[in-house]
A and B are shown apart, each in its own frame.
Chain A
Amino acid sequence: MNKIEAKNVDFYYGSFHALKGINIAIPTGEVVAFIGPSGCGKSTFLRLFNRMNDLIPGARLEGQILIDGNDIYDRSVDVDVLRRGVGMVFQRPNPFPKSIFENVAYGLRVNGVKDKAFISQRVEEALTSAALWTEVKDKLKESAYALSGGQQQRLCIARAMAVQPSVLLMDEPASALDPISTAKIEELICELSSQTTIVIVTHSMQQAARVSNKTAFFYLGEMVEYGETKKIFTNPEKEATQNYITGRFG
């Protein structure tokens, strides 16, 4: 069963052709890594899955993106409902200027959940699943900014997980973090993959190799190669992929 499918996707920023004829199928429950040199369109592609690019004036999509078989760009789709089911974690931790508790509860509240006991329970579960609960359980009322960068990023993961998304998009989630925090995030990705399909953009080959089942290599707006992570890193079919993973460019 495919969670996400892209069919003949072309994407333009004004007249700039950022994504070219991309086809991909992401199976349910997998962790898929997007790799490729800077500016090749990884983030652009990722942000199509929760329609984040809708915010950019002059941007245009051709082709189809299906989640659970439904075209998410169809006119009948409510963007906020879509985004509730497709969580996102950003490159830099971006907690809201609220308490730790309210950060995690935010997604529930804006989606109309009112039951206090239920919210408390979900907040605890989400913080636990983000491996943060024991560190913050005594200071839930404190500002999220009192946390370290790595903790803030795990808070953002908890925030995303609180609404139980079936897809989690992560755009270089560890690139602003130290090695230990990075290791924690990677561990987390492996654990969360039992609950949700994960698509992660990363610049670190080791990270892609460690956390993902499948890897897609992008170059200049095209998806050059997509397959089992092991195969991509040991025996890629395309020369460009080979050059990239051996560090000959990018």
Chain B
Amino acid sequence: MALQFDPAYNRRKRRLQTAVFGLFRLLSYAIALVLFVILGFIIVKGISVVNWTFLTQAPTDGMTGGGIWPAIVGTFYLMLGSALFAFPVGVVSGIYMSEYAPGGKLVAFIRMMTNNLAGIPSIVFGLFGMAFFVTYLDFGDSILAGSLTLGLLALPIVIRTTEEAFRDIAPSYREGSLALGATKAQTIWHVLLPMAMPRVITGLILSLGRVSGETAPILFTCAAYFLPKLPASIFDQCMALPYHLYVVATSGTDIEAQMPIAYGTAFVLIVIVLVMNLVAGLIRRHFEKKLNTK
């Protein structure tokens, strides 16, 4: 019997494809819309509050007036502090896991623990930070304790992105370097690190974005309800944007009058995170151009 194709089948499969792709498109539009509405809501409500005074002055009148400068500074310190802790530790661990003991049982165990760590609710980190940094190490409620707690939260992200960035580099680059008499450390430093850099940096900045918005971990380790002065040392408490947002929106003398401040704070927080992501993208692009691997 001669081979016969059914033309109706071709029409059917093309119609099905159109329908399925249409559905996909609809779903992605819906998600974009939701995102847009959330952002739009905060921007509309917040932008009218944000002005120079709001950005540069401390709260006044029992939190119903003034600005959020101490909270901005506090969040900046906390991000810096957690970065100083999480970046070196995380990058070094990630490199170790990928390059020095990739098949080992210990590394498999550490990898599992890191992944679990990433799934632990942030309030639990806060509790641990309070028990360990604040009480046991006796740092008190302080920028130091808060930074370390936030750093722990960022650590799994940094470790994982670093490890994956290194693992995805083709073995032939390692072999090419080793075959010239380079040591493992030289190979990592001169060949692998530059190649992994775009992804490592992206991971670092994304982890910072995450850290900047966390409230729970600093709740018991660092954040102050209200401080008229800026912190003078890493053993001082500080204000922070996410906690400030929570405070002005839920407690205080005059919630009605405080709400615009809450939206203004949310607006500033969102801008910080968006700018960080933008910077991550730019840095990534810059490094990729420098590598020019294609």
Which chain A residues have a beta carbon within 8 Å of chain B's beta carbons? 50, 52, 55, 57, 80-84, 87-88, 90, 92, 94-98, 106-107, 109-111, 143, 145-146, 156, 159-160, 163
**With A57-B103, A80-B181, A84-B181 as given contacts, are A97 and B292 in contact (CB-CB < 8 Å)?**
yes
Taking CB as reference atom, which chain A residue is nearest B183? Answer: A80
With both chains docked as a complex, state the minimum distance between the C-beta of A148 and any C-beta of chain B, in angstroms: 14
Q: Which of B180-226 contact A (CB under 8 A)?
A: 180-183, 186, 190-191, 194-195
Set of chain A residues within 8 Å of B194, measured between Cβ atoms:
97-98
With both chains docked as a complex, state the minimum distance between the C-beta of A17 and any C-beta of chain B, in angstroms: 22
Set of chain A residues within 8 Å of B183, measured between Cβ atoms:
80, 110
B182 near A87 (CB under 8 angstroms)? Answer: no
Set of chain A residues within 8 Å of B179, measured between Cβ atoms:
50, 52, 83, 87-88, 160
Instruction: Give 14 new A-B contacts, CB below 8 A, not counting A94-B172, A97-B194, A110-B180.
Output: A55-B175, A82-B181, A83-B178, A88-B179, A94-B173, A94-B175, A94-B176, A95-B176, A96-B177, A97-B292, A107-B181, A109-B190, A110-B183, A143-B291
With both chains docked as a complex, state the minimum distance between the C-beta of A175 and any C-beta of chain B, in angstroms: 14
Q: How many residues in B have their beta carbons less than 8 Å from beta carbons of A?
A: 23
B176 near A84 (CB under 8 angstroms)? Answer: no
B180 near A160 (CB under 8 angstroms)? Answer: yes
Query: A154 vs B191: C-alpha distance in the bound complex, in angstroms?
Result: 20
A96 near B181 (CB under 8 angstroms)? Answer: no
Partner of B180, one of A55, A97, A106, A145: A106
Q: Which of B220-261 contact A (CB under 8 A)?
A: none
Taking CB as reference atom, which chain B residue is nearest A159? Answer: B180
B294: interface (CB < 8 Å): yes
Set of chain B residues within 8 Å of A95, measured between Cβ atoms:
176
**With A84-B181, A97-B292, A97-B293 as given contacts, are A110 and B176 in contact (CB-CB < 8 Å)?**
no
With both chains docked as a complex, state the minimum distance between the C-beta of B182 and any C-beta of chain A, in angstroms: 4
Taking CB as reference atom, which chain B residue is nearest A96? Answer: B191
Query: A90 vs B294: C-alpha distance in the bound complex, in angstroms?
Result: 19
Query: A50 vs B178: C-alpha distance in the bound complex, in angstroms?
Result: 10
A83 near B181 (CB under 8 angstroms)? Answer: yes
Partner of A145, one of B174, B175, B186, B293: B293
Residue among B174, B178, B180 with the highest chain A CB neighbour number at 10 A: B180
B175 near A110 (CB under 8 angstroms)? Answer: no
Set of chain A residues within 8 Å of B170, measured between Cβ atoms:
94
Residue among B178, B181, B292 with the highest chain A CB neighbour number at 10 A: B181
Query: A242 vs B221: C-alpha distance in the bound complex, in angstroms?
Result: 79
Which chain B residues have a beta carbon within 8 Å of chain A's beta carbons? 103, 170, 172-183, 186, 190-191, 194-195, 291-294
- Tell me the interface secondary structure of chain B in the complex: helix
Set of chain A residues within 8 Å of B195, measured between Cβ atoms:
97
A110 near B292 (CB under 8 angstroms)? Answer: no
**With A90-B175, A94-B173 as given contacts, are A80 and B182 in contact (CB-CB < 8 Å)?**
yes
With both chains docked as a complex, state the minimum distance between the C-beta of A100 and any C-beta of chain B, in angstroms: 12
With both chains docked as a complex, state the minimum distance between the C-beta of A13 and any C-beta of chain B, in angstroms: 14
Can you list 16 pairs linking A and B with CB atoms under 8 Å apart? A55-B175, A80-B183, A83-B178, A87-B179, A94-B175, A96-B173, A96-B177, A106-B180, A107-B180, A107-B181, A111-B180, A143-B291, A159-B176, A160-B179, A160-B180, A163-B180
Query: A55 vs B174: C-alpha distance in the bound complex, in angstroms?
Result: 10
Query: A57 vs B175: C-alpha distance in the bound complex, in angstroms?
Result: 15
Set of chain A residues within 8 Å of B103, measured between Cβ atoms:
57
Set of chain A residues within 8 Å of B291, measured between Cβ atoms:
97, 143
With both chains docked as a complex, state the minimum distance between the C-beta of A87 and any C-beta of chain B, in angstroms: 7
Set of chain B residues within 8 Å of A143, measured between Cβ atoms:
291-292
Query: A159 vs B294: C-alpha distance in the bound complex, in angstroms?
Result: 20
Residue among A106, A110, A111, A143 with the highest chain B CB neighbour number at 10 A: A110
B176 near A90 (CB under 8 angstroms)? Answer: yes
Taking CB as reference atom, which chain B residue is nearest A156? Answer: B176
With both chains docked as a complex, state the minimum distance between the C-beta of A187 and any C-beta of chain B, in angstroms: 23
Query: A97 vs B180: C-alpha distance in the bound complex, in angstroms?
Result: 16
Query: A193 vs B273: C-alpha distance in the bound complex, in angstroms?
Result: 60
Set of chain A residues within 8 Å of B191, measured between Cβ atoms:
96-97
A111 near B181 (CB under 8 angstroms)? Answer: yes
With both chains docked as a complex, state the minimum distance between the C-beta of A218 and any C-beta of chain B, in angstroms: 21
Query: A57 vs B104: C-alpha distance in the bound complex, in angstroms?
Result: 10
B180 near A84 (CB under 8 angstroms)? Answer: yes
With both chains docked as a complex, state the minimum distance between the C-beta of A166 and any C-beta of chain B, in angstroms: 13
**With A57-B103, A97-B291, A145-B293 as given contacts, are A83 and B180 in contact (CB-CB < 8 Å)?**
yes
With both chains docked as a complex, state the minimum distance between the C-beta of B201 and any C-beta of chain A, in angstroms: 16
B293 near A87 (CB under 8 angstroms)? Answer: no
Set of chain A residues within 8 Å of B172, measured between Cβ atoms:
90, 92, 94
B294 near A145 (CB under 8 angstroms)? Answer: yes
Taking CB as reference atom, which chain B residue is nearest A89? Answer: B179
A106 near B190 (CB under 8 angstroms)? Answer: yes
